[in-house]
A and B are shown apart, each in its own frame.
Chain A
């Protein structure tokens, strides 16, 4: 059974705090992704990674960074959280080459006060 897990379902942080969101997949997928989901805006790609220690910017990378030290784990970092980063964050993974199913994690709903 395919599994993508995220460290927290709900998170409340204060403005200026450093926030870590963790994602783990057990499918040996090379590709991992972080999306942000906001009403009416769909899923917007923040960062993705093709391999360990490799990262690429997506459509909205500003204010975020990522880390991929191990193949199964992809972390999203908010260096200094701001209220406009309040959102649902979804992690996903798939195999390389395109045209493959992306599997999503359950999401982390982050509230920045």
Chain B
């Protein structure tokens, strides 16, 4: 099956700085890579996703890049704000299993 590794597990940045979270996956057949944000005490919610036919996608301060050859994808948050503080999960859609496999999560703390 699929295996997704996520780094770092915790990340602390100063407000206004950029934050980068990286994930690697094992199954080259995976073709869909969403990112979820989970604020304290709340449910995970999709913030951005990318499909395997695209190398980069942006949505305001958030961007995701995908390197299919190296089997890794990254979340980039620019001009971080305190409300970006949350746990972020990457995931890979594993075709053969018809399910998402999640990374271990990154706790991002943005200091004002």
Contact = CB atoms under 8 A, between A and B. Distances in A.
Interface residues of B, number: 26
A42 B44 contact: no
Interface of A: 4, 33, 35, 40-45, 48, 50, 58-59, 90, 96, 98-99, 101-102, 104-107
A42 B32 contact: no
A42 B51 contact: no
Given A42-B6, A42-B104, A98 B98 contact: yes
Instruction: Label chain B's interface by main secondary structure.
Output: strand
B51 to A, nearest CB: 6
B99 A101 contact: no
Given A42-B6, A45-B99, A58-B99, A99 B51 contact: yes
A48 B51 CA distance: 23
